[in-house]
Structures are given as structure tokens and as C-alpha cells.
Amino acid sequence: MQKRLEKIADNNITRSASKNSAVARLNGLWAIFERSDNVLIVISADPDAIASALALKRLLSYRVHSVVIGYPNEIRRLNNLTMVERLKIPIERLHTLSMKDYSKKILVDSQPNHLACFEKMTFNAVIDHHPVTTGWDAAFIDIRPEYGAVSSMMVEYLRAAGIKPSVALATALFYGVKVDTQNFQKQNMQASDGICFRYLFNIANLNLVRKFELTELRRSELRYFRTALNEVKASNRRAYVHLGKVGTPDILVIIADFFNRVESFDWVIVSGLHGEKLVVIFRCDGYRKNAGKLAKATFGRFGPAGGHKEAARAESPLKNLPLRENQEFTTKTLIRLITQHIK
């Protein structure tokens, strides 16, 4: 199994295809389904996964009895909620579905060992763009880590099938590519992403895409900006701010990205308490700096921490932090922890 998955990663082939071509992949995918199948497409819901699942549902239309898209995570980000609502994308929470009702299952934009709930399921097909993992198998596997988005892969499937996506589907895929490639600023992508993006550009509703991108904040969350502006501490071209308790860690990302636009800040570190965890967001330009390494050095011994050169995240249970009894975590605490590891 290990060697076979490594071969997939190295050569970008699927087990069902004798040669690396979009048509061969498409035929290999179609071959595992029968007309009587009730198919469940499983995703961890984000724009790329949602769009890819919608495309896969279109590919299986008229070839199987039914297709349902299920997801385990609560969708909280307004961008994603707006995408689902405006495009009327039919997705259902996984816990409301009975697994015995589905004869075939497909995992998209993830792999079985990414989430505990996925590990309990058996998949007939796995389509993904993340690095290959081991300890699982499927009748059809298409994993291409060099692609920036699964949405790009799905465009190739659609074109191989001779299917022109509807405006709604093209808009979803276009947004999926934009989000997962970070507007083509990420390194793990290739010319295929650009080709698919250009193809979708002529079909997608760009005004809707802009609406998705701009819808980030609930009105109730504006108060966090007031807190951040009052609380921010600047030192040595670094901005530190602790927001206290937050309703969602997403607001920390929004605040960090906001401060990251300020010319005088080379580093931005924003933290907040969500439930019983401290969540810390790191931002920098990635030039002679490494946010992922800083996150791991500072918080890695307390909980999950890491990321890319320019963006990283850490999550630490409060009980693991080096705080005195009844001591509150503050911006000063954040500065003290960070300055031990930053040059």
C-alpha cells in the first residue's frame, strides 16, 4: 500500500488509468459506479471542497440513482455561508445522514485519515490535492499534490466529459481555485490551475465572487476591531494584540490580516480565547522570516502549532500554558512568550 501510494504521488497516475490523461481518469472514475448506486460525496466544507463536490455531483448526474453531499463541520465563515446560500448549493450535515442508505462513497479534497469521522468510513473513491497519506485504500484514487486546488482537477474532469459548467457551478469552482491558491500566491500549483482559472473566468459570475470575498464580518463582530485598535502593542515593527474571549477563531484571522496591511508592521501576532483554548494567528511577509517556525517554537510544546513562512497558527489548551494560578492571559503575556523566540 505504501509503495503504491508513493507511486501515485510521484507519477500523478490513478490505479484505474493506464496513462496520465483527463479522459482516462474520467473513465476510471465512472467505471466504479452503477446506475442503481446511491452516492454520498463527503467533504470537510470549505470553498474548494464544496465546489469540487458540486462538480462531481454534476459528473455523476444521469449515471447513478442519486447523489448527496455531506459534511461534518459547522460552516461558520460568512464567505462560505454566502457562497452556499447565493448559489443554492445542496449540502447536508453528515450526522443527519444514514450511511447504510449509500452504496458508494467518495471523499473529496481530503483523505481518510484527515478527520476521525472519515477514518470510520470506507470510501470507493478519493480525489484530493494534499500530500499523500497512508493506511487506507480505495478502488479509485486521484491525488495530485502539485495542484493548487481540487477545483482545477474537477474542471479537467468536466472538460473531459464534454460538460460545460453552469454559471453557478463555474462561479463555485472559480472561487474554489481563488481561495485555495490564495489568488495564485501559493507555491504548490502549476500551469493547470491557471488554465482552469482562465476557462472559468469566461463563465463565472464575477460579481458574486466579489460578494463572497467581501462578506467576512457579522455586525456583532465589529466590536473586536475596537478592542484590537485599543489593545494593540507595537514594538520593533511587531504588532501584538490579545482579544480575550472570541466567538470564533475566524475573527482572529480577520484582525491579523487587517494589521498585516499596516506598513510599519513586519510581524503581526493576534491571539484570543475560544472555549478552553488559546488560539494564536501569525502573519509576516515571509522574507527572511518564518511564521510557521515561530509558531512551533513558541507554542509547539503546548499544542498543535505550525504553518507556512508567511502565515501560521497555534492552538494551546489553557491548562498547558505556563500561567500562574488565576493568572489571565493578556497582550503582555503574548509578548513575553513570543520575544523569547523571535529575533
Backbone angles phi, psi at 134, to 5 degrees: -120, 175
Contact 48, 149 (CB under 8 A): yes
Give the closest residue to 89 by CA, choosing from 38, 49, 130: 49
Task: Give residues with Cβ within 8 angstroms of 262, minimum separation 6.
Answer: 239
Q: What is the mean pLDDT of residues 138-164?
A: 95
CATH architecture for the domain at 2-214: Alpha-Beta Complex (3.90)
Instruction: Indicate whether 9 pLDDT > 70.
Output: no
Instruction: Indicate whether 8 pLDDT > 50.
Output: no
Q: What is the mean pLDDT of residues 126-152?
A: 93
- For 253-264, how does the pLDDT look when each residue is reduced to its tens digit (9 = 90+)? 999 999 999 999
Indicate the domain borders of the chain: 2-214, 220-339
pLDDT at 176: 95
Report the alpha-carbon distance of residue 288 to residue 176 in Å, rounded. Answer: 30
pLDDT at 221: 87
Contact 74, 101 (CB under 8 A): no
Instruction: Indicate whether 3 pLDDT > 60.
Output: no
Instruction: Indicate whether 135 pLDDT > 80.
Output: yes
Q: What is the mean pLDDT of residues 26-34?
A: 96
- Give, in order, the Cα–Cα distances in Å from 300 to each of 88, 93, 245: 40, 32, 22
Give the closest residue to 308 by CA, choosing from 279, 284, 337: 284
**Eight-state DSSP code of residue 96:** G
Choose the CATH number for 220-339 among 3.40.50.150, 3.20.20.70, 3.10.310.40, 3.40.640.10.
3.10.310.40
Instruction: Indicate whether 225 pLDDT > 50.
Output: yes
Q: What is the mean pLDDT of the chain?
A: 89
Burial class of residue 252, CB neighbours in 10 A (0-12, 13-18, 19+) = buried
Instruction: Indicate whether 13 pLDDT > 50.
Output: no
